[in-house]
């Protein structure tokens, strides 16, 4: 099943599986088993972060799986306090150690923290990780257009990815268009709305699910994929993991895509990057 997940090219020359598995808010005591299940079901793209406190458990699952390292794409992220303390080199080294890896496939600045005005300096450190091969690709998370414009103006590397809150009522059309214009891939966190509103009860999603005889979550993930987003759902349920991966046997038509696009309210359910500090 994993072979059915398309990989899309990044501006770094690497490629990324378009559908992955996230471990945000997965309890460290459960992470190894959850990730082992995800790998067994067929996921080959794992998304963690230092701030999730489960990098070593992700590492244990990768070791236990027996899957060759080069077949698994691993993303992790710089924790906010390391960014503020400018302990970027140390933090990156510790992530490599916790993950038991010689390189990270994608390393991200987790939040820009604009009040601290450190993200440009931090990004220059990430450029050195890409230059020496310890990070195959580097990117950002939760960056707004002005933050990206500063990176373009003051550094040499365009981020490969910007991982942002993105789901049907907050579909970020302006940011996605900006990314497309500059060769940045859009990656969606909270792709199913984090359970903070009745996404699956919305009529266009229910109608598409009935038409294709699939679950509402599968419709939403299919919408992300057809929109061009990289998407990283999470679940502790092996059955739901398999269901979330089983989204390549149907395609939403133009009318279904447009009806889901029309749900956008520009309404966040997570933190505003302009204010998170």
Active site residues: 52
Distance CA(96)–CA(120), nearest Å, equals 22
DSSP single-letter state for residue 220:
H
Name beta bridge partners: 96. none
Distance CA 107, CA 130 (A): 9
Dihedral angle over CA of 185, 186, 191, 193, nearest 10: 170
Spatial distance between the Cα atoms of 76 and 227, rounded to a whole number of angstroms: 24
Environment class of 186 (CB within 10 Å of its CB; exposed 0-12, middle 13-18, buried 19+): buried
For the chain, report the end-to-end CA distance as a whole number of angstroms: 40
Instruction: Please choose, from the candidates 48, 36, 162, the residue with its C-alpha nearest in 3D space to the C-alpha of residue 96.
Output: 48
Residues near 70 by Cβ (< 8 Å), separated by ≥ 6? none
- The count of residues in the chain is 277
């Amino acid at each position: 099943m994993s072979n059915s997940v398309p990989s899309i090219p990044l501006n770094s020359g690497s490629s990324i599986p378009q559908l992955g598995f996230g471990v945000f808010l997965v309890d460290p005591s459960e992470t190894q088993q959850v990730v082992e299940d995800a790998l067994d079901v067929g996921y080959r793209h794992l998304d963690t972060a230092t701030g999730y406190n489960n990098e070593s458990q992700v590492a244990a699952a990768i070791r236990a799986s027996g899957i060759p390292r080069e077949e698994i794409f691993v993303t992790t992220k710089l924790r906010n306090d390391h960014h503020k303390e400018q302990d970027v080199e140390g933090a990156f080294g510790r992530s490599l150690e916790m993950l038991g890896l010689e390189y990270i496939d994608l390393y991200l600045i987790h939040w820009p923290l604009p009040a601290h005005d450190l993200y440009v300096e931090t990004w220059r450190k990430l450029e050195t990780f890409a230059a020496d091969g310890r990070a195959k690709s580097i990117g950002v998370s939760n960056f707004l257009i002005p933050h990206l414009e500063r990176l373009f103006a003051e550094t040499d590397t365009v981020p490969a990815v910007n991982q942002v809150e993105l789901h049907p009522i907050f579909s970020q059309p302006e940011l996605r268009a900006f990314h497309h214009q500059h060769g940045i891939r859009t990656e969606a966190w909270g792709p199913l709305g984090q359970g903070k509103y009745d996404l699956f009860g919305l009529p266009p999603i229910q109608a598409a699910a009935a038409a294709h005889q699939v679950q509402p979550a599968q419709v939403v993930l299919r919408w992300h994929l057809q929109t061009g987003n990289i998407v990283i759902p999470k679940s502790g349920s092996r059955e739901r993991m398999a269901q979330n991966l089983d989204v390549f046997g149907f395609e939403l038509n133009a009318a279904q895509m447009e009806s889901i696009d029309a749900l956008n309210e520009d309404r966040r359910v997570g933190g505003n990057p302009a204010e998170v500090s």
